[in-house]
Amino acid sequence: MNKAEKIEFVERFTGQIGSAPLIVVTEYRAVKVADSNSLRRRLEAKGLKLEVVKNTLVRRCVAGTPKEVIADQLTGMNGVIMSGEDPIASAKAIREIIDPKGPIQIKFGYFDGVVLQAPEVLAVADLPSREDLLATLLSTMQEGPRQILGVIQGPPRDLLYLLTNYES
């Protein structure tokens, strides 16, 4: 890669890594080309992107950003998986695709300002999705007014039941 290509790559990769809410760094040593291509295709089908990048370029891309904390942990050959817009769905896809006993292993990740170790990255997949959280929030917001309405409707309803019973 010549200097112009490196500059273009760093600009592109900086944008990708900057916009990714979830970043997973994998051990990428002694991986066969067939395994690598298979993994890339399965990740791309789920909206994820895998880049095998020199550690110095990753450090340059994250310098001066909140994701700079991952630079200290970059050692050896690494593959960087960047999530799409939904980090929880991406973590679930990564858990499905990456075999814990396969040639590619999760080293660490970055999510919501925190560097996560491999088990914690997989724990992100257990979090509820954005839609589930919004549904829970809506349900919680509706419960208060629903209870107040029940209290307000109670006396007239009880009076109606009393009159109905008295009539019989």
Give the pLDDT band of residue 16 (cuts 50, 70, 90). confident
97 has pLDDT over 80: yes
Give the pLDDT band of residue 138 (cuts 50, 70, 90). very high
What percent of the chain lies above the pLDDT cut of 70? 99
- Among candidates 150, 38, 44, 153, which has minimal Cα distance to 102? 38
Question: Residue 4: how many CB atoms within 10 A of its CB?
Answer: 8
18-25 average pLDDT score:
86
What is the overall mean pLDDT for the chain? 85
Give the whole-angstrom CA distance, residue 161 versus residue 27: 71
Helix (H) / strand (E) containing 81: strand 78-82
Question: What pLDDT does 136 receive?
Answer: 92
Give pTM, 2 decimals: 0.71
More confidently predicted of 168 and 20: 20
CA distances from 67 to 24, 36, 80 (A): 12, 25, 13
Burial state string for 77-90 with b = 16 or more CB within 10 A and e = fewer than 16: ebbbbbbbebbbbb
Question: What pLDDT does 47 receive?
Answer: 85
92 has pLDDT over 90: no
Give the whole-angstrom CA distance, residue 83 versus residue 21: 7
122-143 average pLDDT score:
87
Give the pLDDT band of residue 2 (cuts 50, 70, 90). confident
Length of the chain: 168
- Among candidates 26, 19, 21, 29, which has minimal Cα distance to 97? 26
122 has pLDDT over 90: no
Are 116 and 106 in contact, with CB atoms under 8 Å apart? Answer: no
Q: For residue 75, how many C-alpha atoms fall within 13 Å in the half-sphere facing its CB?
A: 3
